[in-house]
Amino acid sequence: MGPGPSTVPQRILNALGSPTLGHLDPRYIEIMDETCVMLRNVFQTKNAITFPVSATGMAGMECVITNLMEPGDEVIVCVNGVFGNRMVDVMERAGVTVHRIDVEWGKIFSDEMIAEAVERHPKCKALGIVHAETSTGAHQPLESVSKIVHDAGMLFIVDAVTSLSGHTLKVDEWKIDAIYSGTQKCLSCPPGLSPVSFSEAAVEVSERRKTKVQSWYFDISMLKDYYKGSGKRAYHHTAPVNMIYALHEALAIVLEEGLEQRIERHAVMHKRLRKGLEEMGISYIPEHSLHTLNCVSIPDGVDDAEVRNKLLNNYQLEIGSGLGPFAGKAWRIGLMGHNANQANVDLVLAALRDCLN
């Protein structure tokens, strides 16, 4: 119950361990195509370019940035935790001039801040923001931000690593142009893939590039011929076949439960956890908290490492430590995918009660 990887259900582990097919085998291609169809459902998008990048979550960020941005471009990046900072770093490595706007860790960005930033930096090609900041537990609303960004003629880039299938996230309705996530959070799949989706507008921008995408591995102009499946299926790289089996099974589980029901389950379990923690006098750090990642203040006088070790050794229960300014001051309790259930919530509450007494 840390910040991920979350616990992987046996059904997904069984799929993962199935015999490895060739990456161009017709049966494998079928599984991959089905995976992309299910991913579109879970992202709530019709975007043709929706596929899992063959590497972990951060590679999704790099795939989005290297395809959309060119050296000399300008961008606004919203930073309120580790992953906003990462986005700045990856943008700069792509030769992009970054105008960063910061709020205190744990806070979110208001529409006014976004409006001011796009007005101050009107030449930017895009604005990047983190939907679910795993380092602080802050939950950033996106719909109104998207409108401001598009009114200014910019692309809207979203980090959804810790929200996909755990929070409401409507790629088409909210007009998100490029989004990336990870498999090891609310999808309850092992780490190893990074689902991404690009809007038509984003694909057009990438097609109008003057320079080649600096990464061969992440270049969607070639990847699309493998994943999109229009016409001839062109070999690009060898896909991580078994990881695709696992993601296929994970997405099937999401859709069997129902995406809305799954998101509602995360909300219900978050409320239950929050109530129990607050009854113990433990308070949440972010005002707008994620359901999937609960970042709380460590009570005064409590030894961070001692409690986490006791949870691990006596209860086989992992919770996350604080990062950056929250190191030693916060715990991060994940309620992601399979893990967001009543038994887990009640166990972590009971275990914390035990450790704190």
Q: Which residues bind its own copies (CB under 8 A)?
A: 2, 4-5, 7-8, 13-14, 16-23, 25, 54-59, 61-62, 86, 89-90, 92-94, 182, 184, 190-192, 212-217, 237-243, 246, 318
Nearer to its own copies, 149 or 164 (CB): 164
Residue 281, judged by CB atoms within 10 A of its CB (0-12, 13-18, 19+), counts as exposed
Nearest Cα neighbor of 5 from 182, 157, 225 is 182
Q: In angstroms, give the least distance from the CB of 298 to its own copies.
A: 19
Q: In angstroms, give the least distance from the CB of 112 to its own copies.
A: 31
Q: In angstroms, give the least distance from the CB of 244 to its own copies.
A: 10
Residue appearing with tokens 């085998």: 25
Q: Give CA–CA dist 2/13, Å, rounded.
A: 19
Q: In angstroms, give the least distance from the CB of 264 to its own copies.
A: 25
Q: In angstroms, give the least distance from the CB of 22 to its own copies.
A: 6
Nearer to its own copies, 26 or 231 (CB): 26
Structure tokens at 346: 């009640």
Please tell me what DSSP assigns to residue 139.
E
Nearer to its own copies, 149 or 161 (CB): 161
Q: In angstroms, give the least distance from the CB of 353 to its own copies.
A: 23
Would you say how long the chain is, in residues? 357
Nearer to its own copies, 215 or 297 (CB): 215
Please tell me what DSSP assigns to residue 322.
P
Nearer to its own copies, 34 or 318 (CB): 318
Nearer to its own copies, 89 or 116 (CB): 89
Q: In angstroms, give the least distance from the CB of 336 to its own copies.
A: 12
Nearer to its own copies, 129 or 243 (CB): 243
Strands (E), 204-312: 293-297
Q: Give CA–CA dist 60/1, Å, rounded.
A: 23
Asked if 190 contacts 184 with a C-beta cutoff of 8 angstroms, the reply is yes
Nearest Cα neighbor of 57 from 192, 240, 219, 182 is 182
Q: Give CA–CA dist 200/49, Å, rounded.
A: 8
